[in-house]
Amino acid sequence: MLDSCKHIIKFFFLYFILMLPLTSYAQDNFPINGVRSTNQITYAFINADIYIDYNKIISNATLLIKNDRILKVGSNIKIPNDAKIIDLNGYKICPSFIDIYTDYGQKTNFSDIELSSWNSALNTEFNAINNFEIDLNKAESFIKNGFGIVNSLNKDGIIRGSSTLVSLSYDKPHSSVIIDQSALCLSFNKGASKTKYPSSLMGSIALIRQAYYDADWYDGQKHIYNNSLRAFNIKRDLPKIFEVSNYQSIFRANKIANEFKEKYIIKTNGDEYKRVEELKNLDIPLIVPINFDKLKINTDPYENLNISLASLKHAETAPYNFSILVNHGIDVALTLDGLDSFSDFYKNLKTIISTGVNKNEILKSLTYNPANFLNVYNQTGSLEKGKKANFLIFSGDLFSNNFLIYENWINGKKFVVNNKNIQKLIGKYNFFIDGNKGNEISFFVKNNKICAQADTSKKESIDNIKLFNKQISFIKNGIFFNGTFSDSLIYGELYDSLGHWNTWQLVKFSTDNKLSPSNPDSISTHSKILYPNMAYGLQSNPIQQSILFINATVWTNEEAGIVENCDVAIQDGKILAVGEKINLNIFKSPSNVVLIDASNKHITSGIIDEHSHIAISRGVNEGTQAVTSEVRIGDVINSDDINIYRQLAGGVTIAQLLHGSANPIGGQSAIIKLRWGQSAENLKYHLAKPFIKFALGENVKQSNWGSQYRTRFPQTRMGVEQIIYDAFVRAKEYKENNQAYRKNKKLQKPRKNLELDALVEIMDGKRLVTCHSYVQSEILMLMDIANQFNFKINTFTHILEGYKVAGQLKLHGANASTFSDWWAYKYEVNDAIPYNAALLIDAGVNTAINSDDAEMGRRLNQEAAKIVKYGHVSYEEAWKSVTLNPAKMLQIDQYVGSLKENKDADIVIWSSNPLSMYSKVEKTFIDGRCYYSIEQDLEHREIIKTEKSRLLNKMIKNQK
Amino acid sequence: MKYNFILFLLFTQLLIGQNTVTNILLGGVAHIGNGEVIQNSTIIIEEGKIIQIGHSDTINLNISDAKILNVKGKHIYPSLILPNTTLGLAEIDAVRASRDEKEVGLFNSNVRSQIAYNTESTVVSTVRTNGILLAQVTPRGGVIGGTSSVMKLHGNNWQDATYLQDDGLHIYWPEEFHRGHWTHSHDFTAKDKEDDKEDHKKKKRKKTIIELHEFFESAQQYNLLANKEIDLRLEAMQSVFLGDKKLYLHANTVNGIKDAVLFATSYGIRNIVIVGGSESWRITDFILKHNIPIILGRIHSLPNHQDEDIDQPFKTPKILADAGIVFCLDYHGDMERMGSRNLPFLAGTTVNYGFSKEEALKLITLNPALILGIEERTGTLEQGKDANLFVSSGDILDVVSNNVEHLFLLGRQVPLENHQTKLYNKYLDK
């Protein structure tokens, strides 16, 4: 929960520096057209049940208001003699609602600001207030739904400038504004920005981080003017609203918040329930939508194959999102954002309520929380003395079926939502036309509206009910009705489809106002949330077992080589022992050891894919610039990628997720363990060193991108060399400037540059380079540059002409990670040969076989076997090319890569020789946890089958 | 014109194929290709044909002037046959000038792959050396891609490399298909736009199918015209209606396959093959009912859907075989030309999913021969068939033992060198 005290202080601080009007009612300097009109009346609402706030209700209480403020509220209140008394016996009062994520009143076309940032996705200067105009139609819709205040923001771009908090009551923009700059808004989506950078999610993240650093740096500058950074710094003290498009991005945004000691209010997409356990510890206020994706279920079962279990499960669970969050103690504000139509608001609220959520929690999420998030709880969000006179007069129980708002008072001004006479209307009637008795008709309340229904066999609904005072008109069966109503009778004239006029009347026989229960959407429960919440998801993290595998053929990757009739013991996620006839007594608790007879099986360490692009969200490349060392794959790991599971089934336990090869200096890599079901952060293998991707040749010179890509430098290998060389020249200078500044603080402080920071790390040996490369010339070139700047190229990946320069690679100390037999897809791989790995191994270069492909990634054992076929490498060496050798080049071989005491228990059980086409993975363990086994896989399949048919059935019923 | 051409072919065949030397392969394990194995076999090759094959004990070796190859303990296989490939039509994916597999236009019934086939392709040389000596070279592009021919993977020009000219016409059925596509991912917000796009694509598909109908109707009507102006596209369709040319329908989804088959049968076309067919396992009854063979798309693929069994592509062959459907394996898709040398390993995968090795071998020998209509000339090691065969020191279906040592195409020994072995040897000696 926000520390409200602190924020109130902060608010007053803001008030003084930004000169905000605390009350926007008085517009004293406006000339009057005509004579003065005043508002001096005190209103006394008496005999109402009043929700003072979301939690506290006083029955039979009084509310006194004057002008736009609340004078008093409570029971036993003395009513001034001159007050206008409004008796609300039978009615209730609660605070009006607040939506802090809207684009209410934002003009769609605003011109770009000159003097702006280099990147048009960074609109720090933008102030929603300057783009605000009153939209009466939209205001009316909000008001009718019970809203009094909305926060208006521009939903476009990465840094979106400030939002403005406005009242919905006024017809002049000036008088609407409560806070001119209420929050600074951000997102990861560049929106309509014309600047090419960033094209990827990781680029957006890097851009935001750099913007923060730039702003910090600018703060100390005296001689430079930068409008964008200036504006950013001014707005740094505002609350911040960060919009994300899925639950994983909440954690991404939170990481940025931690880095810059920020606190974001995060606008979510409604799927936060998927990781609520981790979310609840972060104490992040959330703005949550109440739109639920409608899944279109097809008639053709084959078309439904395209509907994933993930989307079905989401459709079922999304209504529970709110209740799950609230039950985990997360502060939530609701928003209408994303609703197709305002009329869905109460319908969806009802759906949320049917999930068993406390109605007070909903009121909280519409009043207290949004007010508190934006630090205006001292002004609104509850009904207390001195606060804004923003409240609803309603009947029925809060948010229940018969909940009906009559009036929405905003800033002491009354807006009629529903005719109070509706109460008289509710009930059941007998219908007479021209004296003849027809069907029964009932009037009732539903979704904050008066509805009617003829009690025929089809329960035919009656449309377009219009009320004015005690007059009513509606359409039924193509017949137009007009009438007058009193407590028990409605009568009038009708105009039928043949053009006849006639008389009609409805005679009330029951005042029953309960809607006959017409099978509300039967959401009684949702299926268990899986990790990830999709096909093959797990119910929980597999337990770390103590296991003794007996009598296997063990590929140790150690001196012992391939050992038959050998045992492997694992405990606490580590390998305890490898050898013949291991005694149970070496385990901590021998009685708890699981014995697995592995006769005829082969056991190996897990496969390590040195070159993978699985499990990456929204863009593998930030290819918009030639040097993008600031972007990090680690920021955008997608823990929900099914390929993680598929590759586990191929025996892969570790993968290096690389940036693509669109530019000479790409982004920073992430090394993950394929711990299926764990969050993105938990997938990371934290013992691995930082890596970065470089690339050379045709991809980076855009040779095969099409004719419109002929202008970005570089277009030749000559240019590629210069780009890289120049980057390191700049990085070296940057490093020197930083060193000088550290010695002498009087010097100008160098701007922190994330791009160059990564390059400095490379030169300092703290970050290792994996370089996409093909032909010998470019391989030699890069080693040459590295030598000049005194670092080593750790890995050449692809390196299909590596065999031509094997000696030089060996000399430089580079590793090689290559394809087994790919070639001829580009001109530069014309001399690629499947003997490459064999020749490199022969020359003493540490060589790995990688996938670079989600499909091949699950058959890397077969790819390793190809170097037996092409080049006659021994079984043992071939196997190392997908296990120990990649571990060495990732510099994690002290922990993984072989079966050795104390190494991680990342092991795979194979049905036979793992290099053979006829071998299958039977079990894959990571850290001693079994993440894949044939048996578990069959269970998953059964669950997928039954769950999918159950959900399709449920959804098609709801669709009707 | 066509007859002259065939005569010409026969003539060149005689010239090149003239092979007076008798080759004898002695003592090898002969994998016949029809499921049978002869452990200690003798194979006698003369004038390009297998004139005798049997257990060594049963064969009389009274032939003078024979070249005897002792292959004791080694494995002999009929040539592998690669269907549905662009091998020889294109060389390097990224070099536009080297690509001849895709003509512009929607209905190119008249274009023929045979004449663009490059016998000197370095890619072909690396595929050949893995035992693939015959391939159905297939044009891509548009809806009607053109006419394929079965080509030899060794020759001097497209004429002498032709094995079966113009075997069939290829229709790429317009269908909704995303292999390995991430459906309904919540990672992307522009969902509505996506839906619009899908809608647009659906409309476009429907329109294309209507145009295809119009094209087929015109082609049938064309035949009835009294005085016709020559229309090459419609002309090329006539052999399909007559059944001289097969009709290869490339379709993967259930609805695509059904649509395509019902379309073709509605024009009275009988000689139909499904190509792709990744979802064919779901409708084996339908396929059996129409008695249609399948060239099954590359089984080393990701499942079509996130929810599908993770090994679905691997186990599809067993489902088809159990249903009694005749099918073979292809390598169509990304990097299909350079990757097609892995064809034996696709068959090897089926061994892991329910096939015996000999049954698996059929999927890349006899079955493709049957489906392409060359089973009387090749596809098995049987007396009277062309001597298209090769020797490996071990089981070719498994990567670790696959090691080709001799290649014979029409009885003539084919060199094992290729672009890559030359580079290997150069740098091995370095």
Q: Return the pLDDT at A869.
A: 97
* CATH number corresponding to A422-510: 2.40.128
Distance between CA A316 and CA A530 in Å, rounded? 13
How many CA within 13 A on the CB side of residue A652?
Answer: 37
Q: Is the pLDDT of residue A273 over 50?
A: yes
Please report residues of B whose CB lies closer than 8 A to that of A303: 255
Cβ pair B94:A918 closer than 8 A: no
Instruction: Tell how far CA A631 is from the center of its chain.
Output: 19
Contact: A824, B309; criterion CB under 8 Å = no
**B350 with B403, same domain?**
no
A726-735: per-residue pLDDT in tens? 999 999 999 9
* Model ipTM over 0.85: yes
pLDDT (0 to 100) of residue A4: 45
Fold of A116-379: TIM Barrel (3.20.20)
pLDDT value for A454: 85
Domain-wise residue ranges, chain A: 116-379, 422-510, 547-604
Q: Is residue B4 part of a domain?
A: no
- Judged by CB atoms closer than 8 Å, whether chains meet at A642 and B306 is answered as yes
Please tell me the distance from the alpha carbon of residue A730 to that of residue A750, in angstroms, as a whole number.
13
Burial B28-59, CB ≥16 within 10 A → b, else e: bbbbbbbeeebeebbbbbbebbbbbbbebeeb
| pLDDT surpasses 80 at A282 | yes
pLDDT digits (tens, 9 = 90+) for B31-44: 999 999 999 999 99
CB contact under 8 A, B302 and A855: yes
B177 pLDDT tier (thresholds 50, 70, 90): low
| Displacement of CA A656 from its chain's centroid (Å) | 24
Q: Do B255 and A821 touch (CB under 8 A)?
A: no
Tell me the pLDDT band of A227, cut-offs 50, 70 and 90: very high
Q: What length is written for chain A?
A: 960
As a whole number, the mean pLDDT across chain A is 92
3-state class (DSSP) for residue A35: coil
Distances from the Cα of A957 to the Cα of A296, A356, A954, angstroms:
12, 21, 5
Nearest to A307 among B184, B399, B402 (CB): B184
Task: Identify which of B94, B342, B399 has the shortest CB distance to residue A825.
Answer: B94
Q: Do B306 and A307 make contact, defined as CB atoms within 8 angstroms?
A: no
Q: What is the mean pLDDT of residues A370-394?
A: 97
pLDDT of residue B77: 98
Considering the domain boundaries, does residue B123 fall inside one?
Answer: yes
Q: For B59, list phi and psi in degrees, rounded to 5.
A: -110, 130
Nearest CA in chain A to B353: A918
CB B284 within 8 A of CB B327: no
Q: Determine the structural domain holding residue B315 and report its residue range.
A: 81-376
CB contacts, 8 Å: B421 with chain A = 835
Total domain count, chain B: 2
- Are A205 and A256 in contact by the 8 Å Cβ rule? The answer is yes
Q: How far is B234 from chain A (nearest CA, A)?
A: 35
Tokens of A14: 């803001």
Q: Name the minimum distance, in Å, from the CA of B299 to any CA of chain A.
A: 11
| Distance of residue A313 Cα from the nearest chain B Cα, in angstroms | 12
Does residue B220 have a pLDDT over 60? Answer: yes
**Distance of alpha carbon A93 from alpha carbon A233, whole angstroms:** 42
Pick the more confident residue, A167 or B200: A167
Residue B135: inside a domain: yes
| Whether residue B264 is found in the same domain as residue B206 | yes
Please report the pLDDT score of residue A477 as a whole number.
Answer: 84
Cβ–Cβ gap B342/A821 under 8 Å: yes
Q: Which residues of chain A have a CB within 8 Å of the CB of B396? A: none
Q: What is the pLDDT of residue A124?
A: 94
Q: Are residues B96 and B50 in the same domain?
A: no
User: Any idea which of A203-212, A421-430, A527-536, A865-874 has the lowest mean pLDDT?
Assistant: A421-430
pLDDT at A433: 86
pLDDT tens digits for A681-703? Answer: 999 999 999 999 999 999 999 88
Range scoring the smallest mean pLDDT among A135-149, A547-561, B185-199: B185-199
Instruction: Report CA-CA distances (Å) from B374 to A102, B149, B313.
Output: 69, 11, 27
The proportion of chain A whose per-residue pLDDT surpasses 70, expressed as a percent, equals: 95
Which chain B residues contact residue A918 at CB under 8 A?
A: 348, 351-352, 398
Amino acid at A85: I
* Stretch among A459-468, A518-527, A736-745, A846-855 having the lowest mean pLDDT: A518-527
What's the number of CA atoms in the CB half-sphere (13 Å) around residue A323?
Answer: 18
DSSP state at residue A447: T
Whether the link from the prior residue into B303 is cis, omega within 30° of 0, is no
Instruction: Tell which wins on pLDDT, B193 or A449.
Output: A449
Q: What number is the average pLDDT over the span A116-133?
A: 92
Q: With cut-offs at 50, 70 and 90, classify the pLDDT of residue B191.
A: very low
Q: Looking at residue B424, which CATH number applies to its domain?
A: 2.30.40.10
Superfamily of A547-604 according to CATH:
Urease, subunit C, domain 1 (2.30.40.10)
* Average pLDDT of the residues in A329-344: 94
Same domain, B122 and B43: no
Chain A residues closer than 8 Å to B279 by CB: 302
pLDDT, tens digit, for every residue of B343-398?
Answer: 999 999 999 999 999 999 999 999 999 999 999 999 999 999 999 999 999 999 99
pLDDT at A18: 37
CA dihedral sign of residues B221, B225, B228, B230: positive
Q: Structure tokens of A661?
A: 């090869």
Asked, for residue B147, whether it belongs to a domain, the answer is yes
Mean of the pLDDT values across residues A465-469?
Answer: 86
Report how far residue A729's alpha carbon sits from residue A463's, in angstroms, rounded to the nearest whole number. 74
Minimum distance, in Å, between the CA of residue A774 and any CA atom of chain B: 14
Which of A833, A919, A920 is facing B424, going by the closest CB pair? A833
Q: Based on the fold, state whether residues B47 and B65 are members of the same structural domain.
A: yes
Same domain, yes or no, for B173 and B317?
Answer: yes
Contacts of B301 in chain A (CB under 8 A): 855
Distance (Å) of CA A158 to CA A124, A185, A204, A225: 9, 8, 7, 22
Neighbour tally for B180: CB within 10 Å: 15
Q: How far is B38 from chain A (nearest CA, A)?
A: 23
Query: Tens digit of pLDDT for each residue in B294-338?
Result: 999 999 999 999 999 999 999 999 999 999 999 999 999 999 999
Q: Which residues of A touch B254 (CB under 8 A)?
A: 302
CATH number of the domain encompassing residue B285: 3.20.20.140
- Residue A448 CB burial class (10 angstroms; 0-12, 13-18, ≥19): buried
**Domain end (from B376, B391, B421):** B376
- Contact by Cβ (8 Å): A546, A594: yes
State the pLDDT at residue A110: 58
Contacts of B184 in chain A (CB under 8 A): 306-308, 310-311
Interface contact A302-B254, CB threshold 8 A: yes
Give B282's contacts in chain A (Cβ within 8 Å): 302
